[in-house]
Amino acid sequence: MRCNNCGWDNPDGSTRCEKCNAPLQGGTSQQQNSYGHSTVIEGDAFGPKQPSKTVIDETIIEAPQVSPSQPKPQAQPQAAPTEDFSGTVNPYAGVGAFVPVPRCILKPVIFPGEDSRYVPQQVNIKGNYTELNRQLIDPDNNTITSKVQATLTFKDGKWYVQNQSVQKTTYVFAGEPIEVKHGDVILMGNRTFVFEED
């Protein structure tokens, strides 16, 4: 019996084509449409017992059967990340390369006998460059300029502070050995000294 779909010659009595699995003329799973062509009844073509097949250039590709009664696999819940992922993606460092935003904190020191109600709050710095002034670090302290007292810069994995005030009143306490360069000002007691290389 020749298949109307692909032309394959099937043995007599076959209800489906051996090559393309289409219903054969005279089988129970075909009906004629208004143009006289055979059409496949939906229940027979997509029934769960027959594997679905696709014919491409005389090659039969078996497709896996999916039962509608089987539940879809559920994605396993993942723990929420504990790391802060705010930052930017560097487009030149490869796919998904993450560049974290540098952060630091400026904590004010309480002077002996100072009322804790008047101590300024800590300053959270975020980014590669920050201008420090009176409003940002200590709003009630007139010894800090209202313009730009100093700048904090993050470069090559290190933080740098640089005085920007006209009165040159930004100093770093040398709690650990610190590099001193030509022209740096050192405050010792109430006396300032300019460091010069000989």
pTM of the model: 0.49
pLDDT band at 29 (very low <50, low <70, confident <90, very high): very low
pLDDT band at 99 (very low <50, low <70, confident <90, very high): confident
pLDDT band at 79 (very low <50, low <70, confident <90, very high): low
d(CA 17, CA 62): 15
End-to-end CA distance of the chain: 108
23, two tokens: 């219903």
Between residues 99 and 164, the one the model is more confident about:
164
User: CB-side exposure of 5: number of CA atoms within 13 Å?
Assistant: 18
Residue 179 carries which side chain, given as an amino acid letter?
E
Q: Quick check: helix, strand or coil at residue 101? A: coil
Considering 51-55, 72-76, 139-143, the range whose residues carry the highest mean pLDDT is 139-143
Model confidence at 56: pLDDT above 60 = no
d(CA 40, CA 29): 6
Helix (H) or strand (E) holding 43: helix 42-45
**Dmax of the chain from CA atoms?**
114
Residue 183 carries which side chain, given as an amino acid letter?
G
Summarised one tens digit per residue, pLDDT across range 107-124 is 988 888 888 888 899 999
Q: Which residues contact residue 26 at a Cβ distance below 8 angstroms, ignoring those fewer than 6 apart?
A: 1
CA distances from 89 to 85, 96, 153 (A): 11, 7, 20
34 close to 24: Cβ distance less than 8 angstroms:
no
Residue 42 has what pLDDT? 47
Model confidence at 187: pLDDT above 60 = yes
Helix (H) or strand (E) holding 55: strand 53-56
